[in-house]
Amino acid sequence: MPSLIPVANSHAAAPRVDLSGANLLRFVAVLAVIYSHISFYLVDDRGTEWWLLDVVHRSLVEIGGLNKHLSFFGVGIFMMMTGLLITRSAIRHGSGHFLLNRLGRILPAFWVAIFAAIILVRLGINGMFSGQDGISNVEAALSFVLGGFFLKPEVAVLGVTWTLAVQVLFYFSCVAGRPLLRTMPIAMPLAGAAVCSLILLYNLYVPQPYTVPMLSKIAATMPALFLGQILYLAWSRLANGWWIVAALIAQVEVIRLATDFRVYWAGDRYLWTFFVVTACVVLIGKYDGPMNRWAVVRWTAQRSYAIYLVHTLVLYQVFNRTVDYLGSTGAVIAFLIVCALVSEALYRWVEVPGTRWVSARAERMRERSKLAKEGSSARAKEAVPARTKEGTPARAKEGVSAPVKDGAPALAKEGAPAPRVASNHVLVRRPSGSSLR
């Protein structure tokens, strides 16, 4: 099991992996997530049909073997990309710098989206994404820190943000496991698989009052992040082939365990879905063709987080208010237009300024840390006596100082520096290598 080069912020310790198809991957993931929620809403809630749903169901569900509504396909791509891209950052940067960057990038837009969701529920425009008719002040406050998902029963004012709970937990696990990532990196996904299995077993066998259902959902989703991490370790050659295979098998067993315990929420095809997601990340991630530079692909990829946050806030109201006039296809198009406008506003006025603000402070933190290290190194050098080529302290070669005269030591040699004294007694230096008992 290889060890990383133990040098902070070393490019050699955490090689960069080229993911030239990242924009196209995000574009595919956004389309899959939007399709999934449209399909859930039209089929399960309204009981209506739409021609595009029939085409996708026949091609990708019946023939392709994916979950109904393409459940987890888009989310899986986002999660796997997170594990692939974040691992390098966790290795290279200190814990504070890493967390400030990661949390600072997601929290401003998340808080604005949560605030908007609470207002829409309080005004009676939108409903809850869980069984409650409304949301209390305490539940609203907990929603800003993802706490509503851990209540029993669950309180979700903006249902899609459960994935952020998974991502944030992965960030903190990277911080906790940073020593492993910098010495034996493959140990982290192996340990992660063990912890996820224990969580699933805990919720299965403990009495119902003591279970935390959200933890099972997180444990069943974490394999996507760890698979992304394994891909990074394989591509960057930070782990050898046999350990990569062992880590992959460990994640497969977690997925099988979650499937057997019926933790997943849309069927039993999740192992195959994980496989397809992994194949897409590997193949599309290395793609460097013209589609990556299409304007619609770049625009969607840059705003993927904003789209992810707001699309369910506007989907149902826009569709319901336009379907009688425009039909299902027209209503979906109207939803996409409104979603694009709201996402652009969130991206331009919240996400980008928030990211710049956080990046500036992270850079200041890094500079302060660098200056502190340089100052500490300089002080350490000053404390070390100058040595001659033979390795003996310089003053020791100048001879023994003469007796003290009139309260000040006379110099042994003309022009030689005065020896150090303490309480009018000459400070005698011991030969190099001696010790004090």
Amino acid present at 423: S
Average pLDDT over residues 391-407: 46
Helix, strand, or coil here: 129? coil
Q: What is the 3-state secondary structure (H, E, C) of 284-297?
A: HHCCCCHHHHCHHH
Least confident piece of the model among 111-125, 188-202, 357-371, 408-422 = 408-422
Q: How far is CA 324 from its chain centroid?
A: 42
Please tell me the least confidently modeled range out of 105-109, 173-177, 202-206, 407-411. 407-411
Helical segments of 123-207, H only: 137-143, 162-176, 178-183, 187-205
Tell me the pLDDT tens digit for each residue of 119-154. 999 999 999 999 899 999 999 999 999 999 999 999
User: What number of helices (H) and strands (E) belong to the chain?
Assistant: 14, 4
Average pLDDT, the chain: 86
User: Which of the four pLDDT bands, split at 50, 70 and 90, describes residue 48?
Assistant: very high
CA 276 from chain center: how many Å? 22
Q: How far apart are CA 193 and CA 408, in angstroms?
A: 71
Task: Supply the pLDDT for residue 361.
Answer: 82
* Tens-place pLDDT, residues 339-354: 999 999 999 999 999 9
In our burial notation (b when 16+ CB lie closer than 10 A, e otherwise), range 359-383 reads: eeebeeebeeeeeeeeeeeeeeeee
**Got the DSSP string for 61-117?**
IIIT-PPGGGTTHHHHHHHHHHHHHHHHHHHHS-HHHHHHHHHHHHHHHHHHHHHHH
Against a cut of 0.95, is the pTM above it? no
